[in-house]
Amino acid sequence: MVVKRGSRRRTEGPTVADVAHAAGVSPMTVSRVINHDQRVKDATRKKVEVAVAALGYVPNAAARALAGARQCRIVLLYGNPSAAYLSEFLLGSLGSARENDVELIVDKIDPLEKPVMLAARLVAHRVDAVLLPPPLCDDAELLSALQKCGLAAAQVASGQPAPSSHAVLIDDEEAAFTMTQHILARGHRRIGFVAGDPNQTASHLRRQGYERALHLAGIKPDKKLVAQGNFTYRGGLSGAATLLDITSPPSAIFAANDDMAAGVVSAAHQRGLDVPSDLTVCGFDDTAIATTIWPELTTIRQPISAMASVAIEILAQAVRSKRPLARAQPQHVKLDYELVVRGSDAAPQLKT
């Protein structure tokens, strides 16, 4: 390995030139072998491969990138998700971004900026794709602005993925159905539901799952047992207040996310009700708050970190694909959820 005097050489490893020299070919041929170019003669390829192995050659990523390999810059746009959700989402994205060699930029959306402007700004900053966690994943205007600018987008945890964008999700309806069945199996018949933000499509799916399980159990859904909660702790607090103060209150409340479930638990405590002996409370998401409060919440575990990770991977692949066809072929991936039983559910009290 020849290192010239006064060279600015920093890296210690061998280069294409070193390999070429060792194999008795030109650097160009080494490059072809590395990139699996079909046109290299088998004998030549062998020689190069031997040299590569002997020298322990590893291509320099920066040089490849500079010389023409396609870069990938993805923006993670976030609106106002709960801190626990964002935190897990960030962790998943970060790991995946490193593995897939994508540059990840994290940016809070400015509600005052028009989606069209935003999209234009992203393009100006050489962004290739956009990652959209809830609630942004359901912003139709944003999605269409992005598409018009030719930016790939991945919706994470949207209840209603657009056909034109990539999406990673769980089956919200089925998960809510599963949770409701679990509560029914405990023996509850009057099960309250605190619904999520009506602007997020997942909210409706979760409610549908709840109602389907009820139907299947021969229970007619009662509108008085459904309260609005907006996916916030305060919404859970006020929603539970509504449900708990009706004539024949529910013995269990299923909140469509953990933040609201925490609010429900607090409302129960304020009324002197014990959870779970007086009231069963279940959540959805399994974010940090589920194991922070007491009792710990029985909930649906949504693989937030994995969902973010998969979304980055899909986006990176789409961006780097040579064929424009692949960019026009959005993928929708469904991941598994899991029912996590902890301490906030129990059989209802016997009426005496």
Interacting residue ranges for DNA, rule: CB under 7 A:
4, 6-11, 15-17, 25-32, 34-35, 38-41, 43-44, 57, 59-60, 63-64, 66-70
The nearer residue to DNA, 44 or 144, going by C-beta atoms, is 44
* Phi, psi of 338, deg, nearest 5: -150, 135
Report the distance separating Cα 345 and Cα 280, nearest Å: 4
Per-residue binding string, its own copies, 98-137, x by CB under 8 A, is x----xxxx-x---------------xxx-----------
The option from DNA, its own copies, none interacting with 292 (CB < 5 to 8 A, set by class) reads its own copies
The minimum distance between CB 119 and DNA, in angstroms, equals 23
> What is the per-residue DSSP string for 8-53?
-----S--HHHHHHHHTS-HHHHHHHHTT-TTS-HHHHHHHHHHHH
Name the DSSP letter for residue 72: -
The minimum distance between CB 186 and its own copies, in angstroms, equals 23
* Phi, psi of 169, deg, nearest 5: -155, 175
The nearer residue to its own copies, 198 or 343, going by C-beta atoms, is 343
83 is a site residue for its own copies (CB under 8 A): yes
50 is a site residue for its own copies (CB under 8 A): no
6 is a site residue for its own copies (CB under 8 A): no
The minimum distance between CB 315 and DNA, in angstroms, equals 18
Per the DSSP assignment, residues forming a β-bridge with 153 are 130
Report the distance separating Cα 136 and Cα 72, nearest Å: 22
The option from DNA, its own copies, none interacting with 50 (CB < 5 to 8 A, set by class) reads none
| Contact set for its own copies, span 61-80 (CB under 8 A) | 61-63, 65-66, 68, 70-71
The minimum distance between CB 162 and its own copies, in angstroms, equals 26
The nearer residue to its own copies, 91 or 109, going by C-beta atoms, is 91
Angle between helices 115-124 and 140-148 (to 10 degrees): 40
The nearer residue to DNA, 40 or 90, going by C-beta atoms, is 40
The option from its own copies, DNA, none interacting with 247 (CB < 5 to 8 A, set by class) reads none
The minimum distance between CB 99 and its own copies, in angstroms, equals 11
Q: Are 276 and 343 in contact (CB under 8 A)?
A: yes
Measured distance between the N- and C-terminal CA atoms of the chain, rounded to whole angstroms: 89
The nearer residue to its own copies, 10 or 36, going by C-beta atoms, is 10
CA 42 distance to own-chain centroid = 45
Per the DSSP assignment, residues forming a β-bridge with 253 are 192, 281
* Token couple for 221: 């859904």
Q: Which helix (H) or strand (E) holds 324?
A: helix 324-327
Report the distance separating Cα 152 and Cα 328, nearest Å: 9
The minimum distance between CB 88 and its own copies, in angstroms, equals 7
Q: Report the side by side order of strands in the sheet with 166-169.
A: 103-108, 73-78, 129-132, 152-156, 166-169, 332-334
The option from DNA, its own copies, none interacting with 294 (CB < 5 to 8 A, set by class) reads its own copies
* Token couple for 263: 């609010």
Residue 276: asked if its preceding bond is cis (omega within 30°), the reply is yes
Report the distance separating Cα 96 and Cα 83, nearest Å: 20
- Tell me the site size for its own copies, rule CB under 8 A: 52
Binding site for its own copies (CB under 8 A): 8, 10-13, 56, 58, 60-63, 65-66, 68, 70-71, 82-84, 86-88, 90-91, 94-95, 98, 103-106, 108, 124-126, 232-234, 237, 259, 263, 265-266, 269-270, 272, 287-289, 292-294
